[in-house]
């Protein structure tokens, strides 16, 4: 039996020992604890004076007294350690570089092309490292950690590519997301082996749970929802076991809360709202306890805020507005506290801004427009500070543009058009800069077209028609370029048709009938193609019906009665099919009602009063069914409740006006009774519209649909208080 190194040293005696050489650049401070994986060597803690840092060196304890067998074994181990260390170092360095590329260049003006090129280079190096791991086959924790990190980097690149190219390349199998899945699978096999070999090792079990979660993350991104749910459940099961064994382990509790949150996310994605709510509540309970135990921990507070946000989101989808409001307010309270504690922290400030925006969105949905505008203004104030602190941060600039947009949209709905115009103009300037920074960025170009659309809408409503026409033209120019790059993009084609529709509308308002007809026909041509490409696409069919109706209006205005009737009838045919196919779709029912009214108007102008009344009655029948089914204005959460109520008032008013006697006769008693019923219904809806926030008094006083009401004392009594409130709230 070969004697060990210590025995050989005793045999040689003190006089034979040679003193170890000491490097001038380093000093050994201690021998680290020998690990089970250290083999025939041990690790020594050394302070390197030249580098000014601590390093760990693997040395052979026998030193110069080592046998040939020991030296050979040590060299084999050292070579393996070196290879792993070099791979780990390369991966660590590459991961840092990719993080710098993404976070450092993602929001830097004009850096898009350079960023994409650097990411492609890094991706190729990642593939080389993945091949090295695949060939290695070592099943230890160091390899597990390194492969997991490699998968993380692959996934980060894949997510970046998806964000920059939302349409995707249609083949995830060859991309970085699939590469991440492959590497995570290899890491998972190692984790299972280690966990099986060490069932009582908490770290090994924790690694197994993490490997399940990593695989679930990437499967979910690949659209494999069922598989992702199964893996998330397995991850949660392992964490639940660890938490039961040691309830005081904070890290395990955090991981368990995250696992439950992931299960909630997948349930929400699959439409299982009650199940999602239950998972989120379980996660919240754990995080509440952790936040109470660690009140100074920003991470624990952020986790708690995230749970409140998730519960608010799912409550909102379940139409539980009060619950959503409560959760969002809790989220805001935490975000405020974190932002005040660390005012220079960009993340906490951005979280605060998002919290204001969420509450603004919820208040707007509930019809609380003043409250909504207040939240949006606080969001804008925070976004302005962030953008000012980082003028080259594109994300901060996008957030600022969104904040301006929210203020503008709410102000527009409240009739504060001057405020809305200022907000949309500020939004447009930001979107222009972002689009100019990267002309090839389709998302930036599309967002620019939206900004032109917003400002064009407000200008049109303010009667600034030449300005509106110019803005809509600029909108169409942006979309025409996008459509030329990718003619198959249905979304761009739809947006372009919308732009042509706006151009036609303003041209018609400016009495440029020829230009209006040209624009409307361009919109119709696009809408026809989109509707033919997918006959089941309700939106495409609806857009086609709108295009037909607009051309019908223009034809009627030009005295082309038969052509107008043809367009109106085509619109009605489309809407009847949509309404029959979607009986619970309130918008489809409203569109059908509008078509009946449009035909009624046509026949009224043609002096075909009986036919007009019949169309109006059909429209009213649709309206009555909607009210009975709670589809029209039953819920206070409906965003456009005031407009819906006003439309109902107009519908009944139009019916009242259409009840006319036959030539040379007066109204019969039955006609008088019917006319009064329509007037009474119109007044009730108008009163409710004012109560819900409708404030366009000028429109009410001049609307021809309400002509049957204008001379009534009840009408004047309704309008006067509304006019007083509008004047009081005007900026």
**pLDDT per residue over 619-672, tens digit each?**
878 877 877 777 655 433 344 567 767 877 887 887 788 777 777 788 888 888
Most confident range (mean pLDDT) of 12-16, 98-102, 693-697 is 693-697
Give the per-residue pLDDT at 667.
Answer: 85
| Residue 328 pLDDT level (bands cut at 50, 70, 90) | very high
How many whole angstroms separate alpha carbon 596 and alpha carbon 223? 43
Overall residue count recorded for the chain in this entry: 731
Nearest 5°: the CA angle 37, 43, 46 is 155
What is the mean predicted confidence (pLDDT) over 240-251? 92
Residues 6+ apart with CB under 8 A from 455: 421, 424, 425, 427, 428, 471
Q: What pLDDT is attached to residue 65? A: 53
Q: What is the mean pLDDT of the chain?
A: 80
Mean pLDDT of 372-401: 94
57, pLDDT greater than 90: no
**Among 39-53, 289-303, 430-444, the least confident range:** 39-53
3-state secondary structure 116-143: HHHHHHHHHHHHHHHHHHHHHCCCCHHH
* Per-residue pLDDT at 724: 59
Res. 127 pLDDT band, cuts 50 70 90: low
Question: Regarding beta strands 26-31 and 41-48, do their DSSP bridges make them parallel or antiparallel, or are they unpaired?
Answer: antiparallel
**Phi-psi category of residue 3: left, alpha or beta, with phi > 0 → left and psi -120 to 50 → alpha:** beta
Q: What is the pLDDT of residues 81-123, one digit of tens each?
A: 554 555 555 555 545 555 554 455 454 555 556 556 665 665 5
Nearest C-alpha neighbor of 19 from the set 64, 85, 54: 64
Q: Among residues 525, 573, 633, which one has the least CA distance to residue 581? A: 573
Q: How many CB atoms lie within 10 A of CB 321?
A: 17
Give the sheet arrangement for strand 41-48, strand by strand: 26-31, 41-48, 53-60
Instruction: Quick: pLDDT tens for 156-213.
Output: 766 554 444 444 433 333 477 888 888 899 889 999 999 999 999 999 999 999 999 9
Structure confidence at residue 584 as a pLDDT band (50, 70, 90)? confident
The pair of structure tokens assigned to 361 is 């969105």
pLDDT at 11 over 50: no
pLDDT of residue 15: 39
- For residue 52, is pLDDT > 50? no
Model pTM? 0.70
pLDDT at 382 over 90: yes
Query: Which of the four pLDDT bands, split at 50, 70 and 90, describes residue 141?
Result: confident
Element at 507 (helix H, strand E): helix 490-509
Cα–Cα dist 360/353, whole Å: 11
Looking up tokens 């290879």 gives: 83
256 CB burial (10 A radius; 0-12, 13-18, 19+): buried
The three state secondary structure string of 432-483 is: HHHHHHCCCCHHHHHHHHHHHHHHHHHHHHCCCHHHHHHHHHHHHHHHHHHH
């Amino acid at each position: 039996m070969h004697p060990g190194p210590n025995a050989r040293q005793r045999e040689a005696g003190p006089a034979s020992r040679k003193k170890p050489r000491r490097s001038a650049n380093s000093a050994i401070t201690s021998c680290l604890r020998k690990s089970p994986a250290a083999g025939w060597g041990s690790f020594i803690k050394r302070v390197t004076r030249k580098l000014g840092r601590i390093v760990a060196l693997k040395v052979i304890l026998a030193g110069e007294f080592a046998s040939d067998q020991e030296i050979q074994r040590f060299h084999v181990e050292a070579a393996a350690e070196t290879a792993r260390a070099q791979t780990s170092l390369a991966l660590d360095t590459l991961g840092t570089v990719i993080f710098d590329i993404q976070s450092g260049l993602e929001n830097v003006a004009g850096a898009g092309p350079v960023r994409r090129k650097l990411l492609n280079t890094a991706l190729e190096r990642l593939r080389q490292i993945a091949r090295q791991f695949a060939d290695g086959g070592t099943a230890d924790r160091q390899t597990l950690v390194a492969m997991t990190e490699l998968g993380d980097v692959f996934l980060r690149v894949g997510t970046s590519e998806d964000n920059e190219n939302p349409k995707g390349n249609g083949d995830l199998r060859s991309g970085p997301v699939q590469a991440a899945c492959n590497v995570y699978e290899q890491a998972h096999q190692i984790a299972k082996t280690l966990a099986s070999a060490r069932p009582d090792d908490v770290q090994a079990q924790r690694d197994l749970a993490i490997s399940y979660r990593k695989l679930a993350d990437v499967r979910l991104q690949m659209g494999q929802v069922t598989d992702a749910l199964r893996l998330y459940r397995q991850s949660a099961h392992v964490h639940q076991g660890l938490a039961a064994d040691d309830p005081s382990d904070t890290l395990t509790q955090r991981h368990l809360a995250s696992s439950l949150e992931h299960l909630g996310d997948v349930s929400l994605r699959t439409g299982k709202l009650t199940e999602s709510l239950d998972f989120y509540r379980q996660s919240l309970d754990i995080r509440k306890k952790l936040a109470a135990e660690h009140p100074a921990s920003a991470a624990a507070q952020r986790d708690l805020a995230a749970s409140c946000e998730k519960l608010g989101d799912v409550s909102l989808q379940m139409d539980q507005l009060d619950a959503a409001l409560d959760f969002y307010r809790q989220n805001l309270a935490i975000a405020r506290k974190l932002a005040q504690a660390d005012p220079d922290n960009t993340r906490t400030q951005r979280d605060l801004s998002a919290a204001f925006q969420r509450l603004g969105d919820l208040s707007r949905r509930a019809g609380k427009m003043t409250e909504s505008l207040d939240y949006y203004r606080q969001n804008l104030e925070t976004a302005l500070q962030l953008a000012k602190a980082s003028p080259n941060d594109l994300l901060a600039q996008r957030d600022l543009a969104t904040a301006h947009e929210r203020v503008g949209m709410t102000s527009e709905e409240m009739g504060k058009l001057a405020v809305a115009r200022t907000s949309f103009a500020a939004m447009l300037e930001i979107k222009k800069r972002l689009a100019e920074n990267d002309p090839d960025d389709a998302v930036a170009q599309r967002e620019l077209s939206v900004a032109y659309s917003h400002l064009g809408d407000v200008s049109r409503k303010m009667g600034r028609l030449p300005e509106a026409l110019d803005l809509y033209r600029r909108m169409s120019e942006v979309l025409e370029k996008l459509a030329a790059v990718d003619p198959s993009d249905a979304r761009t084609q739809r947006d372009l048709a919308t732009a042509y529709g706006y151009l036609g509308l303003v041209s018609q308002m400016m009495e440029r009938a020829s230009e209006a007809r040209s624009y409307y026909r361009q919109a119709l041509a696009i809408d026809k193609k989109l509707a033919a490409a997918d006959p089941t696409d309700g939106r495409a069919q609806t857009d086609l019906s709108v295009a037909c109706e607009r051309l019908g209006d223009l034809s009627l205005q030009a005295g082309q009665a038969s052509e107008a009737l043809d367009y109106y009838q085509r619109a009605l045919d489309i809407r009847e099919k949509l309404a029959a196919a979607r009986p619970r779709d309130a918008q489809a029912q409203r569109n059908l009602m509008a078509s009946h009214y449009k035909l009624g108007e046509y026949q009224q102008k043609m002096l075909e009063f009986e036919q007009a009344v019949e169309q109006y009655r059909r429209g009213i029948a649709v309206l009555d069914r909607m009210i009975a089914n709670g589809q029209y204005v039953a819920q206070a959460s409906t965003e456009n409740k005031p407009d819906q109520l006003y439309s109902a008032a107009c519908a009944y008013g139009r019916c009242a006006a259409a009840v006319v006697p036959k030539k040379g006769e007066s109204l019969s008693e039955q006609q008088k009774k019917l006319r009064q019923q329509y007037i009474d219904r119109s007044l009730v809806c108008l009163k409710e519209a004012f109560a819900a926030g409708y404030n366009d008094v000028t429109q009410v006083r001049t609307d021809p649909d309400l002509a049957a009401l204008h001379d009534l004392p009840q009408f004047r009594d309704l309008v006067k208080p509304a006019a007083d409130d509008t004047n009081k709230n005007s900026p």
